[in-house]
Structures are given as C-alpha cells and as structure tokens.
Amino acid sequence: MFEVKFKNKDKSIFIKNGDSILVKSNEEGMDIPSACLQGMCTTCMATLLKGKISYIEPPDPDSLTEEDVASNKVLLCVATPESDLLFDDLED
C-alpha cells in the first residue's frame, strides 16, 4: 500500500499497486472529477510532484502531449502508484 496525497486535500489515502488512483480516491470521498475512466478525456489529469506511477492501461496516444508528460501530468483513472505520491492542488 502506498500513501497518496493531494496538496489541497486534508486527507491521505492508501492505495495498492494495481488499483486506479482515481477510483480508490473517489471511494474515499476525494471527489476527483472524471468522465471516461479510460485514459482518453484528460478530465482527471493531475500534476505529480513526488513519487512514481505506472499505467494500468496505456493512456490514449492523443490524450497526453509531450509537454504534459514533461510536466509530470498524470491521468489518474488509469494510473496506479509505484511509491508514495504527492499531487499538486486539484481544482475544487
């Protein structure tokens, strides 16, 4: 289990490798916006500040630009933790 935190949320959650960060976060009441749940729409995009993720399924090739990847943007719906994670503020 890895600790997952968002800068503007007062809660840490614990997620095991292989589980969707988005699904588990929302099960714990984080209320992260989402739409497709397939790594296509970018509604659940967040900036990873610390830690390492992998993708359960590869995101759609057109969803993340090279600039997004270089800026540590992550699609939470298809991402799973590989270590403890800290994400930048989510919009409320």
Every domain of the chain and the residues it spans: 2-87
SS3 assignment, position 33: coil
Q: What pLDDT is attached to residue 91?
A: 64
The pTM of this model reads: 0.93
Which among 44, 13, 42, 6 has a CA at the least distance from the CA of 27? 13
Q: Does domain 2-87 have CATH number 3.10.20.30?
A: yes
Task: Tell whether the model's pLDDT for residue 92 goes beyond 60.
Answer: no
Render pLDDT for 65-91 as a digit per residue (tens, 0 to 9).
Answer: 999 999 999 999 999 999 999 999 876
Q: What pLDDT is attached to residue 10?
A: 82
